[in-house]
Amino acid sequence: MLQKILRHNVQSADVPLFTWEVVTGFDEELPKETLHTRFDEEFRDAFADKTPVFFKLVSFNGLNGRRHRYLVALKEKDESLKRKNSWQLPLSIVLYRICDKIMREGDGLQNLCYYTTVAGKLYILVFLEGRLCHWSEELGYGNAFENPDVALKIEERLERFRHFLEKDDLFSRAESFAFESGCDDGPSPFSREEFLRAAADPFWRRKSLTPSDKSSHVRFAFVTFLLAVVVSLVVFVPTLTAFFESEGLLPNESVLEAEAPELLLPEPIESFEVRAIAESLPKSVKRPSCDQPEFKLRGLVEGKICQLHGPDGTSSWLREGELVGGFRVESIGRDRVVLECGGVFYDVFSGV
């Protein structure tokens, strides 16, 4: 849903990015005007046809003062990019999302050096303690899978970059960096869908290549707030209802609690089966017809959310109280899920 909101609000721009460092006094911060002046003084006319946009990465104390590192985007001096209410980000932020995923799946990995080649350009991103601190792009690199000379060229560049990490005032503080390669022979990662996912990251939500236009960001923040309220209600209302039922404040049928799991951390599950474990309605009451459920349990997260795979081949993430195929999720345990239909409870559990 968030991607659908973003789809009509954020545009991508194929602009180069690089890291630029500015040194000031230990207690000094550069205002925006001074930042542009310092940039023009350092690069003179090298980017006369570009407009630099600065994103603050990190600041730290060095031997000779306070050092500020910025991610600089070089945007074309084109009035068409200054559309009213436009929100624009670099297309290559997709790489940021890839790095974030690597660190989240890396069991505590926070110091990462990620490199990849896309369309003949070598990208190197460095994260220190989970924070982006360096970004570089270099032209002149082809497909390493087709040309051995390119692979050798990349290795030589990485060897020089390792020496840079060891001697740099900031990166030398880290014990080590994990080097991860994104070089492969597959399609370009710069797709529209991946860009939208990257733009939804908190790091990029308040950034834009276009002149500051608070209205677009305020509108997005308002829509995001409403979305959060809706999601909270979906989660909170069933929980509140279950509480009232357990306290006898609401009329309710008798509920059979799921058995406590025998294993705290169940082994990865390959096969599943479903069995009825109780009926709560008297025999004199006519029950609605419910086919035997054919769901498979694919995943559980902290006993709060489960993933069920249905007979139609689709999978859904569900919480207690939500419906799937005519069945209601009664409870979620650590190794099983209880479904209810027509007063009959079914236990979806992992095979041993």
* CATH code of the domain covering residue 298: 2.30.30
| Position 328 confidence tier, pLDDT thresholds 50, 70, 90 | confident
Q: What average pLDDT does the segment 344-349 reach?
A: 80
| Position 195 confidence tier, pLDDT thresholds 50, 70, 90 | very high
Same-domain status, 331 and 223: no
Rounded to the nearest 5°, which phi and psi values hold at 325?
55, 35
pLDDT at 79 over 90: no
Which domain does 45 fall in, by range?
2-212
Domain count, the chain: 3
Q: What average pLDDT does the segment 225-229 reach?
A: 55
Same-domain status, 32 and 87: yes
Same-domain status, 276 and 233: no
Answer yes or no: is 340 within a domain: yes
Q: What average pLDDT does the segment 162-184 reach?
A: 93
Q: Which of 59-68, 103-112, 154-163, 323-332 has the lowest mean pLDDT?
A: 323-332
pLDDT at 289 over 90: no
- How many angstroms separate the CA atoms of 16 and 267, rounded? 46
Answer yes or no: is 265 within a domain: no
Q: Looking up tokens 């890396």, which residue turns up?
A: 106
The pLDDT value recorded for residue 154 is 92
The pLDDT value recorded for residue 243 is 54
Same-domain status, 61 and 147: yes
Same-domain status, 161 and 224: no
DSSP E strand boundaries for the chain: 10-13, 17-24, 50-62, 65-76, 87-90, 112-118, 121-128, 131-139, 178-181, 272-279, 296-301, 305-309, 315-318, 323-324, 327-332, 336-341, 344-350
Same-domain status, 150 and 233: no
Answer yes or no: is 106 within a domain: yes
Q: 108 — alpha (psi -120 to 50), left (phi > 0) or beta?
A: left
Answer yes or no: is 241 within a domain: yes
Same-domain status, 162 and 196: yes
Q: Which of 7-21, 26-40, 102-116, 251-265 has the lowest mean pLDDT?
A: 251-265
CA end-to-end distance (rounded Å), the chain? 37
Q: Which of 93-107, 261-275, 312-326 has the lowest mean pLDDT?
A: 261-275
Q: Which of 77-91, 231-245, 248-262, 306-320 has the lowest mean pLDDT?
A: 248-262
State both tokens at 88.
Answer: 């624009």
Answer yes or no: is 266 within a domain: no
The string of DSSP letters for 14-40 reads ---EEEEEEEE-TT----HHHHHHHHH
The pLDDT value recorded for residue 201 is 92
Cβ-based neighbour number of residue 167 at 10 Å: 9
Alpha carbon separation from 341 to 155, 215, 239, 255 (Å, rounded): 60, 48, 19, 13
Same-domain status, 151 and 232: no
Same-domain status, 205 and 306: no
The residue among 156 and 336 whose pLDDT is bigger is 156
Same-domain status, 64 and 109: yes
Answer yes or no: is 260 within a domain: no
Answer yes or no: is 264 within a domain: no
Same-domain status, 222 and 277: no
The residue among 76 and 184 whose pLDDT is bigger is 76
The pLDDT value recorded for residue 313 is 65
Q: Which string of b and e fits 315-334 if b means at least 16 CB within 10 Å?
A: eeebebbbebbebbbbbbbe
Note whether 9 and 2 are within 8 A (CB): no
Which residues 6+ apart lie within 8 Å of 298 measured at CB?
307, 308, 309, 315
Hey, what amino acid is at 323?
Answer: L
| Position 215 confidence tier, pLDDT thresholds 50, 70, 90 | very low
pLDDT at 234 over 80: no
Same-domain status, 281 and 133: no
Note whether 188 and 116 are within 8 A (CB): no
pLDDT at 286 over 70: no
Answer yes or no: is 267 within a domain: no
pLDDT at 170 over 90: yes
